[in-house]
Amino acid sequence: MRLKFKTREDKLSELSQYLPDGDFIAVFGTSHTSGVCKRGDSEAISREDIWAEQVGAALGLPVFNASMPGNDNDTIVQQMIDFLDVPGARERCKRVICELRIAEGTTRMSRDLLGDFGVFRRAEFVPQLTNCYSVPAKTVVDPEDGGLVGHTTITDKLLVRLPTSFKRQDKKRQYQLLLDMLPDIIDTPAPSMYDVVMDVLDNFINYENISMLPFIKDYNFVKTMNAIWRWNGIPFNWFCWDEHAQFGDPTDDFKVVRSAFKQVTDVFDTEVKLLAGSAHKHCSKSLPSDTKFSDFNCECGHQNEVMHKFVAEQIIKEIQNV
């Protein structure tokens, strides 16, 4: 039997099977929206406890969860474009809520520096939406559809997210985390890999993280998302789970940048007001004096069901007010 590769349209049609029947809401986001929360041998909270499912239940609509651990705003925009091309999505999606990153201390490293282009060539690329929470098909190999090595997205293949906060961790753990991120690219890491990665982290800590550029980039991503949804006639809201720069009082620089964006863009028109700036901070403030926010943290630095419930309640209140 001769095989042929599927087209983009074929793949998008396949993805449509993962959309809920009838009307639904779609959510995009990071590991928080995927419910990641490590406690003992449990890696994530139950689906029904994820904030998005609670919002969906309150609205009486099923949820298409397009979140992805390690996701970044650049990739979320691509996911959104793919999503809108999935047959039925544009017509049946009644609301979109996005949990995105604002000025997070992270950078992206290209895996092909550590492997070779051949690895990239052998992969069959699929729309960016393929590996989200609601589409459990990240690396399914199916000879019937001509996939020779399995399906993967371009960003999956190329980018590794490096939290710059790794700098604060001990080197042995840092190195192990990096190796865990590169399982399909290299069998034996080059001895210089550690140095390369440390250079990257140093560079971003010394340069990008001290400027307002990360805020400006991320607010512009929101501006792009706003346009995509507005011009498709689908209501859109966004919030940030843990905007690190918002944990303390906003700096003067931050106030200036925020004010500039308020003057000339619609970025903040769609922010979930009750979670403005940082959901983390609002949740922390809402706690009784005898409760510590850190009690809700899991072993991997995510938050448990309590925070998800708080986030869901704020979003539901805001949507119901509208």
Tell me the three state secondary structure of residue 143.
helix
The β-bridge partners of 39 are: 42
To another protein, the closest distance from the beta carbon of 174 in angstroms equals 18
Of the candidate residues 188, 263, 289, 321, the single one contacting another protein (CB under 8 A):
263
d(CA 109, CA 287): 38
Residue 211 lies near another protein (rule: CB under 8 A):
yes
Query: No. of H helices and E strands in the chain?
Result: 12, 10
Residue 149 lies near another protein (rule: CB under 8 A):
no
Residue 74 lies near another protein (rule: CB under 8 A):
yes
Residue 108 lies near another protein (rule: CB under 8 A):
yes
3-state SS string for 87-100: CCHHHHEEEEEEEE
Residue 274 lies near another protein (rule: CB under 8 A):
no
Residue 223 lies near another protein (rule: CB under 8 A):
yes
The β-bridge partners of 64 are: 26
Residue 234 lies near another protein (rule: CB under 8 A):
no
Q: What is the DSSP string of 38-102?
A: EETTEEE--GGGSHHHHHHHHHT--EEE---TT--HHHHHHHHHHHHHSTTHHHHEEEEEEEE-S
Residue 50 lies near another protein (rule: CB under 8 A):
no
Of the candidate residues 20, 23, 78, 139, the single one contacting another protein (CB under 8 A):
78
Tell me, by CB under 8 A, how many residues bind another protein. Answer: 56
Of the candidate residues 159, 162, 283, 312, the single one contacting another protein (CB under 8 A):
159
To another protein, the closest distance from the beta carbon of 117 in angstroms equals 6
Residue 18 CB: number of other CB atoms within 10 A?
Answer: 18
Of the candidate residues 52, 126, 178, 307, the single one contacting another protein (CB under 8 A):
126
Of the candidate residues 57, 58, 137, 158, the single one contacting another protein (CB under 8 A):
158
Nearest to 102 by CA among 228, 254, 251: 254
Residue 208 lies near another protein (rule: CB under 8 A):
yes
Nearer to another protein, 117 or 294 (CB): 117
Residue 154 lies near another protein (rule: CB under 8 A):
yes
For residue 190, what is the DSSP state? Answer: -
Residue 47 lies near another protein (rule: CB under 8 A):
no
d(CA 278, CA 264): 22
Residue 120 lies near another protein (rule: CB under 8 A):
yes
Residue 70 lies near another protein (rule: CB under 8 A):
no
The residue range among 105-113, 142-150, 162-170, 298-306 that interacts with another protein, by the rule CB under 8 A, is 105-113
d(CA 103, CA 247): 12
Residue 261 lies near another protein (rule: CB under 8 A):
yes
Give whole-number Cα distances, 144 to 55, 101, 126, 137, 150, in Å.
38, 38, 16, 15, 11
Tell me the three state secondary structure of residue 131.
helix
Quick one: tokens of 107? 């950078």
Of the candidate residues 148, 260, 269, 295, the single one contacting another protein (CB under 8 A):
260
For residue 297, what is the DSSP state? Answer: B
For residue 164, what is the DSSP state? Answer: G
To another protein, the closest distance from the beta carbon of 76 in angstroms equals 11
Residues contributing to the site for another protein (CB under 8 A): 5, 7-8, 74, 77-78, 81-82, 108-113, 117, 120-121, 123-128, 153-155, 158-159, 196, 199-200, 203, 206-208, 210-213, 216-217, 220, 223-224, 227-228, 231-232, 252-253, 256-257, 260-261, 263-264
